[in-house]
């Protein structure tokens, strides 16, 4: 049996039996979190621009019509652009941004929405995305210009779709194989406005199309992962054992990290550590300089001060986030991430921050994404705080109030009554068919 066939066996078998209560609770939280991100993303300028790609009366051609596969592409792109969706640290992927929109679009087209089938489809997507990310060493290839989530999006979406359609294990293996052959992963660095989010959405759309093709009898090369195909076509090693090993604990969904606010995951431990120092009595006007010590693997990524270069630059800048946490802490919640870098106090504070790579911390990366913040004070003292597990990480998952986060994101966009109804539906969608139908109707409207 090939690797893809073994993966397919697991996906096709996931419809039997109730999931453990702990797994169901995690699914509810991550579903609610992703739907909140989708709502918030639609209200951003980038989200509105993506939605503007849909067919209009004065256009004879457009990228998107109003078909279910188009909803997948838009839903994935809009959810991911927020940078408030969850992260699986060992694989360096953001699974819910692909899993949830795909599942809601497909489930919404079925004659009947079945909450248990939906739950198992979510699990299938989480397992495939994270295992694939681990298999290709996502934390390493990301520094080579490969975006692990983009790389895994087709095969992940294919798994979700195949499970919801009830494909056989062979049909599912064919879906995975067809999807794998459409994998890219390298969005490049365009000089103008980046199509990054659009590319991810289209990759997920392709994965769904692969499953639909397999359902009609089309076959893929199910031996792709039994050879050096990934090396020959993408220059990436792939460890098949990570794809077929037995799950432990609550599986992939139990290892996901929730984001407390909009920020690159690599910056959150540093923000936590800085806030801890402030909580210990360190005063802003006493700080002469700050040293942020992080794994060498991502020091360069978060070490810039180019906050005026766009929203993504602000989201990835540790210096900018610490300055915001110092002077405008409420702005951490703002998904739009406006440019405040020109404010004198923000600019001056950013200039005092240095990012230091520490290879010793690489020993616990990517299982953990730590940071230490060292503050040198006017009186010569040095205060330091080390955060190994940031707010929202698996060991601190409960510290993120997902429902409160959802309402911060959704109330202003759709109104409090509608937000409450949708939140209730999300928290019941893996148990009650009617709740799932409610969310599908909202997503597919």
* pTM (2 d.p.): 0.96
Domain ranges in the chain with CATH number 3.30.1330.120: 265-390
**Which residues, at least 6 apart from 52, have a Cβ–Cβ distance to it below 8 Å?**
none
Extract the tokens encoding 24: 């169901």
pLDDT tens across 16-46, in order?
Answer: 678 899 999 999 999 999 999 999 999 999 9
58 — pLDDT class (breaks 50, 70, 90): low
- pLDDT of residue 15 exceeding 90: no
> Domain 265-390 is classified in which CATH homologous superfamily?
2-methylcitrate dehydratase PrpD (3.30.1330.120)
Instruction: Decide which of 434 and 16 is more confident.
Output: 434
**Interval 114-125 mean pLDDT:** 96
Closest to 123 measured CA to CA, from 14, 9, 258: 14
List, by residue range, all CATH 1.10.4100.10 domains of the chain: 3-258+399-443
Rounded to an integer, the average pLDDT of 305-309 is: 93
Please report the pLDDT score of residue 193 as a whole number.
82
pLDDT-derived band at 285 (thresholds 50, 70, 90) equals: very high
CB atoms within 10 A of CB 89: 23
Is residue 81 within 8 A of residue 419, CB to CB? The reply is no
Helices (H), strands (E): how many in the chain? 20, 4
> In this predicted structure, which of 117-121, 153-157, 193-197, 303-307 has the lowest mean pLDDT?
193-197
- Taking only the tens place, the pLDDT of each residue in 157-214 is 999 999 999 999 999 999 999 999 999 988 888 867 889 999 999 999 999 999 999 9
Instruction: Flag whether pLDDT at 419 surpasses 90.
Output: yes
Average pLDDT of 309-323?
96
Q: How far is CA 273 from CA 3, 85, 238, 319, 383, in A?
A: 42, 21, 35, 13, 11
What confidence score (pLDDT) does residue 356 get? Answer: 97
pLDDT score at 192 = 74
Q: Which among 108, 44, 124 has a CA at the least distance from the CA of 72?
A: 108
Mean pLDDT taken over the chain: 95
Location of structure tokens 């360096």: 92
Residue range 234-245: mean pLDDT, rounded: 95
Dihedral sign from CA coordinates of 224, 226, 231, 234: positive
Mean pLDDT calculated for residue range 221-243: 96
CA atoms within 13 A on the CB side of 36: 36
Q: Output the pLDDT for position 66.
A: 81
Q: Indicate the CATH number for domain 3-258+399-443.
A: 1.10.4100.10
Residue 14 has pLDDT above 70, yes or no: no
What is the model's pLDDT at position 27?
A: 97
Give 246's contacts (C-beta < 8 A, 6+ positions apart): none
Q: Which is nearest to 9 in space by CA: 165, 172, 128?
A: 172
């Amino acid at each position: 049996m090939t690797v893809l066939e073994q993966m397919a066996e697991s996906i096709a078998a996931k419809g039997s039996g109730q999931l453990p209560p702990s797994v169901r609770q995690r699914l509810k939280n991550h579903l609610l979190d992703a739907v909140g991100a989708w709502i918030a993303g639609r209200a951003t300028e980038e989200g509105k621009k993506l939605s503007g790609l849909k067919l209009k009366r004065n256009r004879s051609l457009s990228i998107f019509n109003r078909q279910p596969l188009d909803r997948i592409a838009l839903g994935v792109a809009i959810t991911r652009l927020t940078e408030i969706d969850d992260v699986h640290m060992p694989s360096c992927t953001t699974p819910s941004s692909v899993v949830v929109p795909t599942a809601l679009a497909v489930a919404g087209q079925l004659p009947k929405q079945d909450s248990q089938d939906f739950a198992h489809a979510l699990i299938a997507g989480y397992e495939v995305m994270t295992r694939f990310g681990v298999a290709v060493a996502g934390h390493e290839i990301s520094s080579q210009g490969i975006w692990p989530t983009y790389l895994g999006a087709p095969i992940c979406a294919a798994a979700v779709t195949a499970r919801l359609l009830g494909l056989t294990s062979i049909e599912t293996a064919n879906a995975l194989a067809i999807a794998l052959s459409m994998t890219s992963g390298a969005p490049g660095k365009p000089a103008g406005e980046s199509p990054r989010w659009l590319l991810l959405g289209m990759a997920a759309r392709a994965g769904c199309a692969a499953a639909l093709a397999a359902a009609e009898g089309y076959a893929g090369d199910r031996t792709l992962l039994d050879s050096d195909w990934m090396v020959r076509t993408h220059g990436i090693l792939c460890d098949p054992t990570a794809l077929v090993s037995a799950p432990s604990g609550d599986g992939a969904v139990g290892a996901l990290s929730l984001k407390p606010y909009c920020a690159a995951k690599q910056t959150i431990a540093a923000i936590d550590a800085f806030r801890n120092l402030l909580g210990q009595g360190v005063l802003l006007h006493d700080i002469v300089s700050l040293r942020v010590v992080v794994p060498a693997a991502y020091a360069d990524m978060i070490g810039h001060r180019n906050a005026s270069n766009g929203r993504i630059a602000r989201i990835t800048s540790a210096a900018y986030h610490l300055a915001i946490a110092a002077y405008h802490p409420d702005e951490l919640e703002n998904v739009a991430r406006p440019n405040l870098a020109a404010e004198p106090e923000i600019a001056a504070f950013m200039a005092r921050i240095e990012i230091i790579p520490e290879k010793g911390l690489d020993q616990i990366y990517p299982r953990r994404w730590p940071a230490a913040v060292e503050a040198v004070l006017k009186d010569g003292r040095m205060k330091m705080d080390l955060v190994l597990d940031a707010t929202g990480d698996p060991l601190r998952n409960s510290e993120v109030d997902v429902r409160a986060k959802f309402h911060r994101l959704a109330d202003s966009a759709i109104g409090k009554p509608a937000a409450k109804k949708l939140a209730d539906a999300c928290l019941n969608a893996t148990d009650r068919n009617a709740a799932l139908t409610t969310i599908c109707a909202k997503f597919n409207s």
